[in-house]
Structure 1
Amino acid sequence: MNEPKYETVKQALLHQIQAGKLRPGDKLPTEEDLMKQFHVSGITVRKAMTELANEGTITRIKRKGSFVNGVQAADNSSHLIAFILSAEDNFDVSYMKIIKGAQQVAADFNYSLIVEWSNENLAVEQASIQKMLDRKVDGILIYPFDPIQSKDNFLLIEQNNIPYLLVDRYNVDHPCYFSGCNNYDGAILATRELIRLKHTKIKFASFQFFLQSEQERFAGFSNAMRQAGLPVTDDHLLTHMDYDRLAGSILKRDITALFCSNDKLAIEMIELLTNRGVNIPQDVSIMGFDDWDHSSNLSLGLSTVRQNFEEIGRNAANLLNQVIQGKTYGGNSKILSGVSLVLRESTCENPYA
């Protein structure tokens, strides 16, 4: 028998796949390893791998390697991932950065990313999900407005056995794959900085406290306060802003620093408190969270905790691909990107300490 050498390599790899020694999602040996294993040239190995790829048995990804599809997976794959965003501002650069990061990684794994906006509406979100299910996408990324209210929408995806992952926010009572930032540690960094600046009368201002992310930030704030020997009571959490009353408390020196759960709220506070005669940061230091795109472009730069939005998007697509390929199981893996402190003009040392 004079079987071509490339066919020998090809059939040997097929046998390993069919025998379950190489499973869907597994990475194949490198070209160099296969050359040594079968005592053949690089040209022979590349021809065998090209035929396997053309037949849909494997996927070859530039700079990543070759991965097993499995015959059925290759036949049924749409090579599409949906990203559904329930957001109030479709042009917010933060969302665009998350999309960019996810898109880069999706392309590396030979997926196209479809972006759908549902505008903070559960019915529209559900319609978007159904639309993507009808398109037979391989997986779904979701940035929900309220992950607690969206529970039935998540169940719809689960009933269709499609892998999905939540971005930025999740429901602690509903296990899920998730990509976000380290809210807890970020809040500790911010609070410790305010304490270092000799602030002891610090309040935490919430924007949407029903979100787990904001609860985690308040927990980090509370921990940092208690570690510094400062008490934390219900009065330290502001969820409904009465700016006249807040300005009065600041001018009476009952509050010397405000840690806001996000930059949008912090920027609103700077504007509305300034209009009421409060000098920032002399009367009150203000700290945000996110490093939102506008945070450095104000007449008064906002001190804040920086999230890496592109990294969150990359982590989301990477983890979703792991789930699609069957490399990650259990439905409860979470990846948190790091955070860092950015200090600008909205904070200063407490002049009354």
Structure 2
Amino acid sequence: MNGPKYMTVKQALQHQIQTGKLRPGDKLPNEEELMKQFHVSGITIRKAMTELANEGAITRIKRKGSFVNGAQAADHSSHLIAFILSAEDNYDVSYMKIIKGAQQVAAEFNYSLIVEWSNENLAIEQSSIQKMLDRKVDGFLIYPFDPIQSKDNYLFIEQNNIPYLLVDRYNVDHPSYFSGCNNYDGAILATRELIRLKHTKIKFASYHFFLHSEQERFAGYCSAMRQAGLPVTDDNLLTRVDYVALADSILKRNVTALFCCNDKLAIEMIEKLTDRGVRIPQDVSIMGFDDWDHSGNLSIGLSTVRQDFEEIGRNAANLLHQVIQGKTHGGNTKILSGVSLVIRESTCENPYA
């Protein structure tokens, strides 16, 4: 241990590199681990690492760590972003649009986007994350099926000091970077339109109410209803739809409009209620949310709230790039894309008003 302590650390690491214990491309232990290994301060470790970097023995990459130089070292600056999608339907066009938007921006910043599908399975999601960590990606975009259940997977990424951003869905109790749409204002637009059409008996139908995005849409619906002086009770929220009972309520004029949390549910509503003799929109107006590509091509065109999926993808990649570059800090920045109302044949003025 003669000489400066930083020199002892430097020489020990040089020896590990020269003897092959640390090979080209290997990641060195982090600062805290080296402090424990050599029983020295952080200042000593940083000085040793700086000298090794200046001499070309290692490459230090912000937020990723230090790597041994050599034939494989270039892999660590390969500019990769992983997009993990825990999707219900891999062929949903909205996912494709988000990916397209993210790819456009990723390419502008010289990143390659790697897409991994985990199919609503937390174990597969974590396996995909580990696989991408092994490829030393610069950051993650994550579209979770259930952002609350995926919390441990976020913590796993955080432990590896890699930036990540959630897309479309987030966990309100676990702050994170996020890109999505303005669910609250979109729901207000939809509900006000139904009220403008003289509907007062409006119910909100949910699909996965554990998602904060659906809760935000319900909150917007409640706000618009109360602003119009219309009562809101537990009966206004449908979380499990009994189509026989719902059709009966509609034909008895106890329900004149339905605001569905997404187009998938709205299309199902139209099909199931039509099968039970309910006329759309004469007996009940139906409003969706998303504006799927085929929402306007149905036998009854769906009135809905349009969100720009490509913009959500572009915003996600832009924000993640800012985080990777160290230009955005705090871990709780959210970007919301705008929404607009699209009126088609599934809604009309209440004929019984």
* Paired position in structure 1 for 2:28: none
> How far does the alpha carbon of each residue in 1:177-231 deviate from its partner, in whole angstroms, 9 at most, with x for none?
0000000000000000000000000000000000000000000000000000001
* Paired position in structure 1 for 2:113: 113
Question: What is the distance in 2 between the residues matched to 1:162 and 1:98?
Answer: 22
Give the RMSD, CA atoms, in angstroms: 1.9
Question: What is the distance in 1 between the residues matched to 2:207 and 2:156?
Answer: 29
* Paired position in structure 2 for 1:308: 308
* Paired position in structure 1 for 2:81: 81
Question: What is the distance in 2 between the residues matched to 1:89 and 1:229?
Answer: 39
* DSSP-derived class of the 1:286 partner: strand
What amino acid does structure 1 have at the position aligned with 2:79?
H
* Paired position in structure 2 for 1:135: 135
> How far does the alpha carbon of each residue in 1:218-251 deviate from its partner, in whole angstroms, 9 at most, with x for none?
0000000000000111110000110000000000
> How far does the alpha carbon of each residue in 1:90-128 deviate from its partner, in whole angstroms, 9 at most, with x for none?
111100000000000000000000000000111111100
What amino acid does structure 2 have at the position aligned with 1:284?
V
What amino acid does structure 2 have at the position aligned with 1:183?
N
* DSSP-derived class of the 1:294 partner: helix
| Deviation for aligned residue 1:78 | 2.5
Question: What is the distance in 1 between the residues matched to 2:92 and 2:230?
Answer: 37
Question: What is the distance in 2 between the residues matched to 1:288 and 1:336?
Answer: 19
* Paired position in structure 2 for 1:336: 336
What amino acid does structure 1 have at the position aligned with 2:109?
F
* Paired position in structure 2 for 1:273: 273
* Paired position in structure 2 for 1:44: none
| Deviation for aligned residue 1:261 | 0.1
| Deviation for aligned residue 1:156 | 0.5
Question: What is the distance in 1 between the residues matched to 2:352 and 2:101?
Answer: 44
| Deviation for aligned residue 1:72 | 7.4
What amino acid does structure 2 have at the position aligned with 1:203?
K
Question: What is the distance in 1 between the residues matched to 2:164 and 2:184?
Answer: 24
> How far does the alpha carbon of each residue in 1:58-106 deviate from its partner, in whole angstroms, 9 at most, with x for none?
xxxxxxxxxx99x979964230000000002111110000000000000
The answer on 1:242 being equivalent to 2:233 is no
Question: What is the distance in 1 between the residues matched to 2:240 and 2:113?
Answer: 38
* Paired position in structure 2 for 1:161: 161
What amino acid does structure 2 have at the position aligned with 1:286?
I
> How far does the alpha carbon of each residue in 1:231-279 deviate from its partner, in whole angstroms, 9 at most, with x for none?
1111100001100000000000000000000000000000000000000
* Paired position in structure 2 for 1:148: 148
Question: What is the distance in 2 between the residues matched to 1:238 and 1:148?
Answer: 22
> How far does the alpha carbon of each residue in 1:10-46 deviate from its partner, in whole angstroms, 9 at most, with x for none?
xxxxxxxxxxxxxxxxxxxxxxxxxxxxxxxxxxxxx
* Paired position in structure 1 for 2:184: 184
* Paired position in structure 1 for 2:350: 350
* Paired position in structure 2 for 1:91: 91
What amino acid does structure 1 have at the position aligned with 2:227?
Q
* Paired position in structure 1 for 2:172: 172
Structure 1 alignment gaps of length 5 or more: 1-56, 58-67
Question: What is the distance in 1 between the residues matched to 2:91 and 2:249?
Answer: 36
* DSSP-derived class of the 1:295 partner: helix
User: TM-score, normalising length from structure 2?
Assistant: 0.79
* Paired position in structure 2 for 1:54: none
* Paired position in structure 1 for 2:206: 206
Question: What is the distance in 2 between the residues matched to 1:278 and 1:139?
Answer: 49
What amino acid does structure 2 have at the position aligned with 1:262?
N
Question: What is the distance in 1 between the residues matched to 2:88 and 2:194?
Answer: 31
Question: What is the distance in 2 between the residues matched to 1:72 and 1:94?
Answer: 38
Structure 2 alignment gaps of length 5 or more: 1-58, 68-72
Aligned residues: percent identity?
86
User: TM-score, normalising length from structure 1?
Assistant: 0.79
* Paired position in structure 1 for 2:194: 194
Question: What is the distance in 1 between the residues matched to 2:312 and 2:119?
Answer: 21
* Paired position in structure 2 for 1:123: 123
Question: What is the distance in 1 between the residues matched to 2:297 and 2:133?
Answer: 41
| Deviation for aligned residue 1:292 | 1.1
* Paired position in structure 1 for 2:22: none
* DSSP-derived class of the 2:293 partner: coil
Question: What is the distance in 1 between the residues matched to 2:84 and 2:277?
Answer: 42
Q: Which range is displaced more, 85-94 or 221-230?
A: 85-94
